Amino acid sequence: MTASFPPGFLWGAATAAYQIEGAAQEDGRTRSIWDTFSHTPGKVAGGDTGDIAVDHYHRFREDVRLMAELGLGAYRFSVSWPRVQPTGRGPAVQRGLDFYRALVDELLANGITPLLTLYHWDLPQELEAAGGWPERDTAYRFADYARLVAEALGDRVEMWTTLNEPWCSAFLGYGSGVHAPGRTDPLAALRAAHHLNLAHGLGAQALRGALPARARVAVSLNPGAVRPLTQSAEDRDAARRIDALATRVFTDPMLHGRYPADLFEDTAQITDWEFVRDFDLSVIKHPLDALGINYYTPTVVSAADDNEPPRRDGHGASAHSPWPGAERVAFHQPPGELTAMEWSVDPSGLYDLLMRFTREVPRVPLLITENGAAYEDKPDADGVVHDPERIAYVHAHLASVHRAIADGADVRGYFLWSFLDNFEWAYGYEKRFGSVHVDYTTQARTPKSSAQWYADVARSGVLPPP
């Protein structure tokens, strides 16, 4: 049976600046924390960096033409903070803004709606040297940056996202250290989480002040679809702890103007949260025009066995936990199909999240701002890249989205991660999430069979039978 999506549903794909742009030292761009991290031996697989990435900075017109040929109606991209405000302070560099002006103009000329993300993890290195996200001032620097970009692109872009996955910025960047800047301090991770929340609120205020009234402001989170291994009280408490750190540390302040009381209790041995000041929560709870949800796989947890070291989650190897106050929680890999990231394929987690936020904030529209999978994609003898596993993955997740819409979720769009194979953070170029294959030697782009399949769905708005 086919499934039709609502008229006006946005069909798009997503990318991030550091993962695709390259041109790391051109036109005034300075180093971000990911430049520093990737150039530090041992931090990224294969010693890879984003110096060249997939050279989108020079090939964006070719890439936009390919988007148009594949029928994409929308494109979610991020702006490189050190490209437009190199030190994280002061005036914008017009050469950097000119790149994004040209990109947006090319998108609009091809009938593609731009969705701009202000922050996808590339903090200017100068701000990290001043303390980074654990320092309150970084949130104010972000608001200034948001205003600069809004003033430059507000006449062209109507859909704006403040942050992408602040959980990763805070807890992988400052907790486990597997992401930039590579620090391993649980207190710094919690401070970073709050200041990212504050940056979202201040940034949203700055956007409202600089953008036309028609503009829409959102945030993209990666909430956890957290499940206890068993229904024992201990396993359910482990799931509660992880839900507080994975989801409610961001959604409760942003959507409800409060922090979870149980989060404060769980982390009391680390901090008394004195860094949360009067009126912060009223700033963080800024009205949203949409909530972006990034989803890849559910999280299954249990209470750790005291006789065994706790098993870590699927976010990279580290001796340090990204879960402050929940170090004795064990993570489990469910049985069944896995992606190349060794993440389980389970679209029911996406359905559960959509229905959860439909209940929590029924008046806030939802967007799937990232969903996709990495597989071992290689061209065949004729140069064709067949990826039936990705087609099956996306089909199953779109079916969950359609089911959620039928059950009352106000889902307005779906953005496939990712449009192009690219620099996959600490995994370097080992993992391929793209619907378009990139030969990293020649930079040649080849749409995979999933790209052609997704193009058919995007053009028709109809999900065919499996």
Q: What is the pLDDT of residues 315-336, one digit of tens each?
A: 888 999 999 999 899 999 988 9
When pLDDT is cut at 50, 70 and 90, the band that residue 309 belongs to is: low
| Burial of 152 per CB tally in 10 Å (0-12, 13-18, 19+) | buried
SS3 35: helix
pLDDT mean over 430-459: 97
Whole-number Å distance between alpha carbons of 90 and 72: 36
| Average pLDDT along the chain | 97
pLDDT at position 172: 98
Please write the tens of the pLDDT for every residue from 342-370. Answer: 999 999 999 999 999 999 999 999 999 99
pLDDT at site 196: 99
Checking if the pLDDT of 194 tops 80, the result is: yes
Q: What is the mean pLDDT of residues 72-76?
A: 98
pTM of the model: 0.98
CB atoms within 10 A of CB 46: 9
Percent of the chain with pLDDT over 90: 95
With pLDDT > 70 as the criterion, what percentage of the chain qualifies?
Answer: 99
Per-residue pLDDT reduced to its tens digit, 140-171: 999 999 999 999 999 999 999 999 999 999 99
Nearest-angstrom CA–CA distance, 345 and 354 = 17
Length of the chain: 466
> Which of 416, 409, 178, 193 minimizes the C-alpha distance to 296?
416
Categorize the per-residue pLDDT at 311 as very low, low, confident or very high, splitting at 50, 70 and 90: low
List residues bridging with 432 in a β-sheet.
Answer: 375
- pLDDT over threshold 80, residue 1: no
**CB neighbours of 18 closer than 8 A, spacing ≥ 6?**
32, 34, 35, 50, 53, 80, 120, 121, 122, 423
Q: Is the pLDDT of residue 310 over 90?
A: no
Q: What is the pLDDT of residue 312?
A: 67
Q: Average of pLDDT values for 96-113? A: 98
pLDDT band at 307 (very low <50, low <70, confident <90, very high): confident
Backbone CA torsion sign across 437, 438, 440, 444: positive
Summarize the confidence of residues 74-90 as an average pLDDT. 97
Active-site residues: which are they? 165, 370
User: What type of residue is 397?
Assistant: H
* End-to-end CA separation in angstroms for the chain: 9
